[in-house]
Amino acid sequence: MNSNMKLVKWVAGYFALGCAALLQSSPSHAGDADDVARFLAGKSCTRCDLRYENAARLVVHGADLRGAYMFNINLSNARLLGAKMQSSNLEDANLERADLTRANLSRAILSSASLAGATLIASTLQQVVAIQTNFDAADLSNADLTTADLRGSKFIFAFAENAIFKSADLRGSNFSKARLSGATFTGANLTGADFSAARLPSADMRRVQMSKINLSNANLAHADLTGADLKNANLQNADLTGVNLSKANLQNADLTGAEMGSALLSGTNTCGAKLPPGLTPSPC
């Protein structure tokens, strides 16, 4: 009998320890219950506390979430068309495959969030802070990312035709194989970015800082790179047909195998550059 009692006590103690460990592993600061209820009901929820909430597949059109705290929220596959999310905190959030068409995310924090496969067509993301954010295969067509901080973010296979990246900070970002026809990058910083095999025909890249950028196998046909800084850039096998490189800096750039038919090179600095046959580097 004594041995049975000891066994019961041991099992009870072990169970209690397991429950305590489970509680400790759960988020210690969940969102406000009333705020969550308002949000899930589709009501206005400005400055709401929705951290850690699981709202996957939620459908709320025109949601007002301005200034909401949504750290680590799960909005995967949600439909939030036309949502107002200015100044919201979505750090570390899961927005994979979410539909945010025409949403306004100006000044929002999206660092370390995942928007892989998300739809952001015609959305406003001006001045967003999205450092190390995942936009792989996202649709950013006609989106406005003016002055956004996108350092180290990924846009692999993204669709961003006619998107605006004016004065954005894209240092170390990855746009490999992205489709960016007609996109605007004027005044942006793309230092050390990877645009290998990206499609950028007719893109506006005037005065862009692109030193050490990887544009190998990229399509830049008829793009405007007037005054761009491409020092030490990799442009191997790039399509530069009809591109405007007037007053651009191509010092020490590698253009081996690039197609440069009808390219404009007026005032271009090609000191030390590796150019296709028929072109001679400018004096250093």
In this prediction, residue 30 carries a pLDDT of: 77
d(CA 3, CA 183): 76
**What pLDDT, on a 0 to 100 scale, did the predictor assign at position 31?**
87
Residue 128, pLDDT score: 99
Q: What is the pLDDT of residues 248-275, one digit of tens each?
A: 999 999 999 999 999 999 999 999 999 9
Who's near 234: CB < 8 A, 6+ residues apart? Answer: 213, 214, 215, 216, 253, 254
pLDDT of residue 51: 98
pLDDT at position 13, please?
Answer: 46
SS3 sequence, 248-264?
CECCCCECCCCECCCCE
DSSP at 179: B
The full set of domain ranges for the chain reads 42-128, 165-283
165-283: same fold as 42-128? yes
Rounded CA-CA distance 150/210 in Å is: 15
CATH code at 42-128? 2.160.20.80
The rounded percent of the chain whose pLDDT value lies above 70 is 90
- Kindly report, residue by residue over 15-36, the tens digit of the pLDDT: 344 444 433 433 445 789 999 9
Q: Mean per-residue pLDDT for 153-180?
A: 99
Q: Report the alpha-carbon distance of residue 94 to residue 16 in Å, rounded.
A: 32
Does the predicted model carry a pTM greater than 0.85? yes
CATH number assigned to the domain covering 165-283 = 2.160.20.80
Q: 103-148 pLDDT, tens per residue? A: 999 999 999 999 999 999 999 999 999 999 999 999 999 999 999 9
**Cβ atoms of residues 125 and 148 within 8 Å:** yes
Which tokens in the block code for residue 273? 């550059």
90: Cα separation from own chain's centroid: 13
